Structure 1
């Protein structure tokens, strides 16, 4: 099982980085092939999908090999960071039938408004939002790199269990729809 964990903010001192790194470690403990995708590595100034840059191509390739996606983001003004929106918008068809877990980070609301925004966006990209964990006050729930408290451990365990179930169920659809972008890239469509 391959999971890509998108860290959706480039802000200095970001608390969500601790959550994202923890999720990578937990995925690996479950035996998954986990990779962190940090928006800092893909800072783009536009969303023009028809002019593919090397960074966009690299991101696209990572998504095409994923069985599941987890988005980790802080709530910014009731929504998600602009750099995450730009990154997500660089591709479209490649997301189809990809189950997504959403992990929000916020000290006040836990990211409830962000969760609603990302669920809607995920559906628009034809991903399937299937699980979520809302992380309140990261400094209070982590001790170093370890998450404190059974309730969060249980939520994270359910997140991975749900993602795995949907990733397996949606695999035939992902395989079918991912062949179209690959054919287009090879120039074999309509031949």
Structure 2
């Protein structure tokens, strides 16, 4: 199974980076072929989908090979970071049939409003949000890169078990969508 883990903030000193690194490591330990997609590598100033840049094409290719997504992001003003919104908006049809796990990161609240916003956006992109982990008080959860609280280990493992079940079930949909996208591109 292939999972793409999107680190959804470019902010300096981002706490989400440590969480995304942990999620990436855990995915690999569980046997997933895991890759990190960092929004810092795709800082776009617009969402003009028909003006495709090399960065956008690279992102599109990475999403098309995924069986599942995990989005790791902090809550910004009750929602998710603008650079994540811009990145997600660069494509649309390519997301269909992808199960998505949402991992929120917060120094206090855990990101419940972020979770609500990303679940709604995911459905709009025709992804299926199936699992979530809310990292509360993230400053207290890590010693360096090591997670100190074992209940989060269990929650992340459950997230990947759930993603795997849905990735297998939704594979026929993803395969059909991807075939249609290839056929459409060949006609152009």
TM-score when normalising by structure 2: 0.98
78-87 or 174-183, which deviates more: 174-183
Distance in 2 separating the partners of 1:113 and 1:71: 15
Aligned to 2:128: 128
Distance in 1 separating the partners of 2:119 and 2:178: 22
- 1:161 Cα deviation after fit: 0.4
- 1:173 Cα deviation after fit: 0.7
- 1:129 Cα deviation after fit: 0.1
Distance in 2 separating the partners of 1:102 and 1:132: 5
Where in structure 2 are the equivalents of 1:134-153 lying within 5 Å?
A: 134-153=134-153
115-124 or 150-159, which deviates more: 150-159
Distance in 1 separating the partners of 2:187 and 2:19: 40
Aligned to 2:49: 49
SS at structure 2 position matched to 1:162: helix
Aligned to 2:98: 98
TM-score when normalising by structure 1: 0.96
**What count of residue pairs does the alignment treat as equivalent?**
188
CA offset digits 1:79-106 (Å, max 9, x no partner): 0000000000000000001000000011
- 1:186 Cα deviation after fit: 2.1
Q: Which runs of 4+ in 1 moved over 3 A?
A: none
- 1:72 Cα deviation after fit: 0.3
| Consecutive unaligned residues in structure 2, runs of 5 or more | none
* Aligned partners of 2:39 and 2:87 also within 8 Å: yes
Aligned to 2:184: 184
CA offset digits 1:90-143 (Å, max 9, x no partner): 000000010000000112210000000000000000000000000012220111
SS at structure 1 position matched to 2:13: coil
